[in-house]
Structure 1
Amino acid sequence: MIADNELDFHVSYENKDEMGTLCKEFEMMRSDLADNNRKMWRMIDDEKALRNAIAHDIRSPLSILRGYQEMLLEFVSAESIKTEDVIDILQTGMYQIDRIEHFTENMRKMSHLEQRELQCSEIELSELAKKIEAEAAMLSKKESKLCKVKRVQEQNIVKVDEELVMEVTDNLLENAVRYAQKSIALQIKKKDGFLIISVEDDGIGFVDTEEKVTEPFYHKNPQDDLKHFGLGMYISRIFCEKHGGNLKIYNARQGGAHVEALFKAE
């Protein structure tokens, strides 16, 4: 069965003898193999989605650039286009070039996701919370949104990769600010050995499943294609898993999106 990757079974033996010990170790091995198998297939699915998304997302700015180039060739040669119209076309072309550069930078980041090693160090939870609050205030103010923060009272020490935690938090905040109508709620806490960062907005919430939202190049609506390549949630999920946690996504009872990033912090 194991040789054929059939791992959907359990080994149970209650007696506390040598056979019981052997069965327990065998069950642990089977469970680890099953987990690794699931991760491998998820990675394969992500890579397929990534290839398809690259073909789709890079085609859009290139098509627009080609269209404007053809227009310029036609009208400039015929001397039938105003100078201000030429400038408008060139400015639009520069915007599309910026999109491609942003896309290339995201590809560079993604190529290093799996290779990134954790650099964990101890930090006061209240100190980390101050940094996150400052980041939240800046991002929300930039988009004229209100950010409500549930302050951390307890004096806990967390051992985490601070840079990784901040990058995930930035991704969640940027997503919340983008879709919030008026306000965002942020909470930072330590529970059961995990650092938990919760971000909630008062927007329309998620319209797709958690699995789809954390796919590479996910877009909540077609308009997002014009500016955002939809990598934030995917990168956040990968980083949370690398840090021994996960990313929980659901809609709040009162409406709006709710995201929890969990990082093992012991």
Structure 2
Amino acid sequence: MTSDTTGGHFKAALALTIHDVKNSLALFLDRVEAVQALDENAGQKYAGFKYEIKRINNNLVRLLSLYKVDEDDFALQDDFHLVDDFFEEIAAEYAAVLHEKDIELIPDCADGLCFRFDKGLIYGVLDNAINNAARYTKTRIGLKASREEGYLVLSVQDDGDGYPECMLTQDLSAKFESGIDMAGGATGLGLYFSWIVAKLHKREGRAGYVRLSNDGELGGGCFSIHLPGENASFSDVCG
């Protein structure tokens, strides 16, 4: 058996295992929500537990997406979405756990901003960025959407100490073009996933990209993903 065949079998087995674990997590989550429905005071008590289940599940979704991209078995599910509605969904998802940490999530998006993107993938990108921001922020996390030179820019900002210089100066394309380094302690899987998702969004010869900076409005770190779009992306197609 060749090494390529062995590697293919391993990746297929890994994908099946991830699916199995995801199903188990969904079962756990259903049980937790059933308990919450029976106990009015259980909401805050189980918020952290639900958050961890969803966090692990989202990590598994990212792994499956990367596997499909690597196998050339991935189709971008892009459609037009109202960004402010999308932000409201994210804010509701994080409300309980951030409240428990005394962190305020501040969405900032113009009403009616409409853009075409893969909602599931972009949710995964912002989920990862918000999780990271929650670890380093002091009291606030900003979730902002803006239009810049034909791109939709979605950013997650915090009021922490910002990114270290080594992260700000790294060339992400050079870092990730050949994959991720599994030998080191921190693989940067979340950032790698974000980089891949950005590249998958292509319009009129332009590809998306991600950027790390310390020039956000809250004074700390700022992660942003830039998605290219044609004129129709900013139309009133969302209704």
Which category of TM-score, normalised to the shorter sequence, fits these structures?
0.5 to 0.7
Question: Distance between the aligned counterparts of 1:252 and 1:258, measured in 2?
Answer: 7
Cα shift at 1:196:
1.5
Contact kept? 1:139, 1:174, Cα under 8 Å: no
SS in 2 for 1:174: helix
SS in 2 for 1:128: helix
The aligned counterpart of 1:256 is 220
Superimposed CA distance per residue, residues 48-67 of structure 1 (whole angstroms, 9 cap, x where no aligned partner): xxxxxxxxxxxxxxxxxxxx
Cα shift at 1:168:
0.9
Cα shift at 1:170:
0.6
Identity value in percent: 23
Cα shift at 1:131:
1.9
Question: Distance between the aligned counterparts of 1:118 and 1:257, measured in 2?
Answer: 29
Question: Distance between the aligned counterparts of 1:217 and 1:184, measured in 2?
Answer: 29
Question: Distance between the aligned counterparts of 1:140 and 1:212, measured in 2?
Answer: 32
Question: Distance between the aligned counterparts of 1:134 and 1:113, measured in 2?
Answer: 30
Asked if 1:247 is matched to 2:175, the reply is: no
Quick one: which of 120, 129, 137 aligns to 2:87? 129
- Report the RMSD for the aligned CA atoms in angstroms: 3.3
Question: Distance between the aligned counterparts of 1:133 and 1:140, measured in 2?
Answer: 10
Quick one: which of 230, 233, 238 aligns to 2:196? 238
Q: How do residues 94-243 of structure 1 correspond to structure 2 at under 5 angstroms?
A: 105=60, 108-114=64-70, 115=72, 116-138=74-96, 140-153=98-111, 155-207=112-164, 208-210=166-168, 211=170, 216=180, 230-243=188-201
Cα shift at 1:171:
1.1
Report the CA distance shift for 1:168/1:232 in structure 2 as closer, same or farther (over 3 A). same
Cα shift at 1:181:
2.0
Question: Distance between the aligned counterparts of 1:165 and 1:176, measured in 2?
Answer: 16
SS in 1 for 2:141: strand
Question: Distance between the aligned counterparts of 2:63 and 2:92, measured in 1?
Answer: 28
Question: Distance between the aligned counterparts of 1:246 and 1:128, measured in 2?
Answer: 20
Report the CA distance shift for 1:143/1:109 in structure 2 as closer, same or farther (over 3 A). farther
Contact kept? 2:79, 2:117, Cα under 8 Å: yes
Question: Distance between the aligned counterparts of 2:93 and 2:75, measured in 1?
Answer: 24
Question: Distance between the aligned counterparts of 2:82 and 2:64, measured in 1?
Answer: 32
Amino acid at match of 2:140: S
TM-score computed with the length of structure 1 as normaliser: 0.50
Cα shift at 1:108:
4.9
The aligned counterpart of 1:93 is none
SS in 1 for 2:69: coil
Question: Distance between the aligned counterparts of 1:151 and 1:120, measured in 2?
Answer: 20
Larger Rg belongs to: 1
Contact kept? 2:210, 2:223, Cα under 8 Å: yes
Cα shift at 1:162:
1.0
Flag structure 1 segments of 5+ consecutive residues without an equivalent: 1-100
By relative contact order (CA 8 Å, sep 6+), the higher-ranking structure is 2
TM-score computed with the length of structure 2 as normaliser: 0.54
